[in-house]
């Protein structure tokens, strides 16, 4: 039994070292001068260069990138939740001819990623005059997230006790009233989970914004950070500080909403 415990400890330590070393070196690297980074990439900085971080935090560029990402992600989340919840409600509670066919139609969206149709998508967005705008990114992201969101929401809506709907209808409540006053408030956990998945995907997205945007001023942070690296190509200490500051919001969100994130990205994926 002792041998196993030693093996476990060793294995965990090795995995921990593998995961944390690049991350810690990135955070610490941002505090070093370029010369020190070269001679001492692993250790603590001998002189803490707070300026590297301060200059970025005080720049409008950093906040501009985060602001763009946040705007795009929030618009995507709100629109996805509204549109998907309405559709999922219909699929869960209303009987009509062709319902299952229509549902199957929408779930074909699970079969392929946006990359497969990225050029026609670009042409479509351009012809709609949405190129180089927030909505040129938001609408395709919402559309490609619908299948998964509707699937998860419909399952949850269906599992709500059917007596609720019957009682509400007897009491003269309309379907819309039932949706607004009963379904949605009871569905907070699943709405939070779906919202979190959609938010993380949008926050980290690269391909769709890359294809749809021309102006630096609209860039979300994954695009902005690539531009930044291009400008400061070998000043790794500044680039590392910039990387640290851009992944910081993700890590904070993760710490605060880890339940929803882990549940959403694993358990949610399982059910999808």
Partner 1 sequence: MLFLPPAVLLFTLFVVMPAGEAGWYSAFNWNGFGRPTRWIGLDNYRYVFENRAFGIALWNNVLVIAVSLVVQLPLALTLAVILAERFRGAVALRLVFFLPYILAEIATGMIFSFVYDGNYGLLTAIWGWFGAEAPHLLASPATAMPAILVVIVWKYFGFHMMLFIAALQGMDRGVIEAARIDGATGWQLQRHVVLPLLYPTIRLSIFFVVVGSLQLFDLVMPLTRGGPADASHTIVSFLYTFGVMRMRVGFGSAVGVILFVICATFAFTYKRWFMRDE
**Residue ranges in 180-239 that form contacts with partner 1 under rule CB under 8 A:** 200, 203-204, 206-207, 211, 222, 225-226, 229, 234, 236, 239
Closest-CA residue to 148 (of 112, 122, 101): 112
Residue from 65, 76, 109, 187 touching partner 1 (CB under 8 A): that is: 109
**C-alpha of 131 from chain center:** 22
Angle between helices 118-127 and 134-159 (to 10 degrees): 110
Residue 84 lies near partner 1 (rule: CB under 8 A): yes
For partner 1, the closer CB: 116 or 217: 116
Of 54, 92, 52, 65, the C-alpha closest to 187 is: 92
46 is written with which tokens?
């001998």
Shortest reach from residue 170's CB to partner 1, in Å: 21
Task: Based on the shown chain and the rule CB under 8 A, indicate whether residue 45 belongs to the binding site for partner 1.
Answer: no
| Residues in Cβ contact with 74 at an 8 Å cutoff, skipping those fewer than 6 apart | 199
Closest CA to 249 of 230, 227, 216, 221: 221
- What's the alpha-carbon Rg for the chain, to the nearest Å? 23
From candidates 6, 44, 57, 117, binder to partner 1 by CB under 8 A: 117
Residues in the interface with partner 1 (CB under 8 A) total: 83
Q: Which of residues 123-182 bind partner 1 (CB under 8 A)?
A: 123-124, 139-140, 142-144, 146-147, 150, 179
Segment lying near partner 1 (by CB under 8 A), choices 25-33, 49-57, 154-162, 184-192: 25-33
Q: Does 56 bind partner 1 (CB under 8 A)?
A: no
């Amino acid at each position: 039994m002792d041998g196993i415990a030693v093996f476990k400890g060793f294995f965990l330590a090795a995995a921990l070292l593998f995961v944390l070393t690049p991350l810690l070196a990135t955070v610490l690297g941002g505090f070093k001068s370029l010369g020190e980074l070269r001679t001492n990439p692993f250790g603590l900085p001998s002189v803490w260069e707070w300026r590297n971080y301060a200059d970025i935090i005080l720049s409008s560029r950093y906040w501009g990138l985060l602001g763009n990402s946040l705007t795009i992600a929030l618009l995507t989340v709100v629109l996805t939740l509204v549109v998907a919840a309405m559709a999922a409600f219909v699929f869960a509670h209303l009987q009509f001819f062709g319902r299952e066919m229509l549902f199957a139609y929408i779930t074909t969206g699970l079969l392929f990623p946006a990359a497969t149709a990225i050029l026609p998508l670009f042409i479509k967005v351009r012809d709609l005059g949405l190129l180089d705008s927030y909505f040129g990114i938001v609408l395709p992201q919402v559309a490609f997230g619908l299948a998964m969101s509707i699937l998860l929401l419909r399952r949850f809506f269906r599992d709500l006790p059917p007596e609720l709907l019957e009682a509400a209808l007897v009491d003269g409540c309309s379907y819309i009233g039932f949706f607004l006053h009963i379904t949605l408030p009871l569905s907070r956990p699943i709405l939070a989970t779906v919202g979190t998945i959609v938010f993380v995907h949008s926050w980290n997205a690269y391909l769709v914004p890359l294809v749809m945007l021309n102006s630096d001023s609209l860039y979300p942070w994954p695009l902005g950070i690539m531009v930044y690296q291009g400008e400061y190509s070998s000043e790794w200490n500044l680039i590392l500080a910039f990387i640290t500051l851009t992944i910081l919001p993700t890590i904070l969100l993760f710490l605060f909403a880890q339940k929803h994130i882990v549940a959403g990205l694993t358990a949610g994926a399982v059910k999808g």
